[in-house]
Amino acid sequence: MTADERDSLAELEGHLGHSFSDPTLLLTAVTHRSFTNENSRGGQPHNERLEFLGDSVLGLLVTELLMTQCPDASEGYLSLMRSRIVSESSLAELARSMDLGRALRVGRGEELNGGRDKPSLLADAFEAVLGALFVDSGFAVCQAAAQRLLVPLVVQAHQHGGSDEKSALQDLLQRLRQARPRYEVIATSGPEHEKTFDVAVYLDDRRLAVGSGRSKRAAEQAAAGQALQVLNQELA
């Protein structure tokens, strides 16, 4: 490990408010598969297993914070907020604020292609860091880190409100590496000056949900909100 790598890991520990009992866990959390593939003789594992664990830890942390910060919110609203907070773009911005890109260990190809600032790599690495923190010291330490790092995201999402369900649905599907949703008007009713639109939202050929509204946009937002609830229930 170089001196710069040691410094960047120490900086990460500062952001987390925790010094690792097993520093190799944090090193693994910032090691991308491309680095491991190019340095197979070193025996350094990559971060995908810790990312898998960290994804679940993150979901629980954000859910707990939302339940605390939004005590009167409905399940649908909480699902929307959680989807927005754990989206790839949101996590990538959080990772940038921690200068996580500096600590990433990536292969030469990823380095040349700007891998240190790729939203997907940054978001995945942040989840891996949470996974490493959980393995190193348990959930209570993760909760303390969440107070430092995630509460501002929760407050910001809550202040923004739940008005953009379509963006939240797209963020969730992007995070799940799924296709973009497709919206289709399936019915209209009422007089011309007071129409009600029924819109279905599809994922490939699957109809996820249907929403109604006095405009196509309002119906699409309602359908996206229903789809978010369906998907979050399936992921729970």
Residues sharing a CB contact under 8 Å with residue 210, sequence separation 6 or more, in sequence order:
186, 198, 199, 200, 201, 223, 226
In which residue are the tokens 């927005």 written?
A: 84
Burial class (CB in 10 A: 0-12, 13-18, 19+), 121: buried
In which residue are the tokens 């995201």 written?
A: 153
Distance between CA atoms of residues 64 and 229, nearest Å: 17
Distance between CA atoms of residues 152 and 217, nearest Å: 30
| Strand-pair partners of 206 | 203
Please, how many CA atoms are within 13 Å of residue 44, restricted to the half-sphere of its CB? 24
Phi-psi region of 195 (alpha: psi -120 to 50; beta: other; left: phi over 0): beta
Residues annotated as catalytic (active site), given as ranges = 55, 127
Residues sharing a CB contact under 8 Å with residue 153, sequence separation 6 or more, in sequence order:
85, 90, 94
DSSP assignment of 112-140: HTTGGG-HHHHHHHHHHHHHHHHHHH-HH
Cβ–Cβ < 8 Å for 220, 183: yes
